[in-house]
Amino acid sequence: MSKKTVKDLRGFAGTHVFVRVDYNVPLEDGRITDETRIRASLPTLEYLIKGGARLVLASHLGRPKKGPTPELSLGPVAVRLGELLHREVKVASDCVGDDVRKQAEALKDGGVLLLENVRFHPEEEKNDPAFARRLALDTRSTVFVNDAFGSAHRAHASTEGVAHHVKRALAGLLMEKEIRYLDMAVHPKERPLVAALGGAKVSDKIQVIEALLERVDALLVGGGMAYTFFRAKGFPTGKSLVEEDKVPLAAELLKKGTGKIVLPVDHVVASKFAADAEHRELPAQEVPDGWMGLDIGPITRRAYAERLRAAKVVVWNGPMGVFEMKPFAEGTLAIARAMADSKAVTIVGGGDSVAAVTQMGLADKIDHVSTGGGASLEFLAGETLPGVACLEEA
C-alpha cells in the first residue's frame, strides 16, 4: 500500500492546509504528562511550515459526552506545540464558525492555528457530511493531510469526511511511516516473519491472529490470552484469566495454526492479583488451585527471545504479563530487550509494549514504534482504514 504524501505537494505557499493530527494526550491538572504524540507530528508540520503553508490543525482529546468540556480543551497542547515549533500557535475557540473563519483568514504563510477539540461537536463522530464540509470551508482549506494514524480506523468528519471537500487528500510523514512499516507485516517480503502477541483477551485480537496466521512463520503468544489457549488444550488454569466463550475458537486457531502458534512452556503464577502476592515459576500445565498465571516464565522468555533475534521482520503488540506489577514484568521486558537486540526490522505497537521499550530507553533501537493502538491492530488484520483509504494513491 502506498499513498501520496505532503512531499508530493508543489508550490503550496499561502495554501491553507487542514492537518488532522493526534493530540489525544494524557493531561493531569492541565499539564501534559506524555507529549510523544505531539513530537511525532513535528516532521510533517515543520515541512509544511518551511514551504509557507498556512496550517490549520485538528484533533480530538478524550471522549466529551455533552459538548464543550473545559478539562478537555486543546489549549495546553497549543502552548506546548508552540514551544516545540518555536513559533506562536494560536488556538481557536471552536473548530467551525465565524471566529474560526476570521482566524483562518488572518493566518500568514507559516502560521499555525489549532482548532478546538473536534469532539465537542457530536457531528464529528457521526461523520456528518455538512459538518465535514464546514471544517474545510470555515478554515479555508483546500488540502487535507491526515497524520493521525491512531484515529485512521475511525470514519469521522475530521479523519475521513473532510477529504471529500478539498482538492487534495494526502498522508503526513508519520502516517506514511506507519503504513510503510506495518505493511511489511501484512505483505512480508523477507522471512522469517515473527509476531509476538500479548494482552489480556483473545477476543481483542481474533482478527489479527487469523490474519497473521496466513503470513507469519511463528506467532508467539503471551499475556492473559494464553490461558484461553491453555484451557483449549485441557491444561488447568486455576483463577487465571480465561474467556470461556472463546475456548472453542482458541481450539480452532490452534488447529489452524499448527506449527505456527507458539505457547509458553512455563509461567509465573501468583496466589492473588497483587504485586506482593506469593509467586512461583512452574511448567505451563501446572497451576495450583486458586492461583493465577501472571507472566511467561524464564524458559519461555529465552525461547521467545531467540525466535525474535533470528527473524527478519518482527511485530510485537501486547504485554507478556501484568507489566504494571514489577514481579510480573520480566516477560514483557525480555521481549523488549530481544526486539532491541534483533537485526530484524522491528515494529512495536500497543500501549504497554510501547511503554516497555520507552521506559527501558530502547525506543531508539526499534525501527518503528507505532502511535496507533486499535488502528495498528486493524491494519495488521488486513482491514481497510477509512482515514487511509480516503487519501490519494501513489
Percent share of the chain, pLDDT over 70? 100
Sequence ranges of the domains in the chain? 6-175, 188-380
Instruction: Give the mean pLDDT of 114-122.
Output: 97
Residue 36 has pLDDT above 90, yes or no: no
Query: Which residues are annotated as catalytic?
Result: 37, 201, 351, 374
Least trusted range by pLDDT, from 191-200, 213-222, 263-272, 370-379: 370-379
C-alpha cell at 269: 503464577
Supply the pLDDT for residue 1.
Answer: 67
Q: What angle do CA 81, 87, 90 make, to 5 degrees?
A: 65
Q: For the domain covering 6-175, report its CATH number.
A: 3.40.50.1260
Q: Where are the alpha helices (DSSP H) in the chain?
A: 36-40, 42-50, 75-85, 98-105, 129-138, 173-186, 206-213, 226-232, 247-256, 298-310, 330-341, 351-359, 374-380, 386-389
Buried b (16+ CB within 10 A) or exposed e, 158-196: bbbbbbebbebbbbbbbbbbbbebbebbbebeeeebbbb
Instruction: Give the mean pLDDT of 220-235.
Output: 96
Supply the pLDDT for residue 359.
Answer: 83
76: confidence class by pLDDT, cuts 50, 70, 90:
very high
Least trusted range by pLDDT, from 68-82, 103-117, 158-172, 359-373: 359-373
Q: What kind of fold does domain 188-380 have according to CATH? A: Rossmann fold (3.40.50)
- What is the DSSP track for 243-293? -GGGHHHHHHHHHHTTTTEE--SEEEEESSSSTTS-EEEEETT---TT-EE
Start-to-end C-alpha separation, the chain:
9
Residue 218 has pLDDT above 90, yes or no: yes
350-369 pLDDT tens trace: 778 888 888 888 989 999 99
Q: What is the model's pTM?
A: 0.88
Instruction: Give the mean pLDDT of 284-313.
Output: 96
Supply the pLDDT for residue 350.
Answer: 78
Buried b (16+ CB within 10 A) or exposed e, 323-362: bebebbbbbbbbbbbbbbebebbbbbbbebbbbbbbeeeb
Taking all residues of the chain, what is their mean pLDDT, rounded to a whole number?
94
**Fold match, 6-175 / 188-380:** yes
Instruction: Give the mean pLDDT of 134-154.
Output: 97
Residue 132 has pLDDT above 80, yes or no: yes
Q: What angle do CA 177, 381, 330 make, to 5 degrees?
A: 80
Q: What angle do CA 175, 375, 144 make, to 5 degrees?
A: 40
Residue 328 has pLDDT above 80, yes or no: yes
380: confidence class by pLDDT, cuts 50, 70, 90:
confident
- Residue 99: other Cβ atoms inside 10 A: 13
Percent share of the chain, pLDDT over 90? 83
Closest CA to 381 of 213, 194, 217, 212: 212
Is the peptide bond between 236 and the residue preceding it cis, with omega within 30 degrees of 0? no
Instruction: Give the mean pLDDT of 101-111.
Output: 98
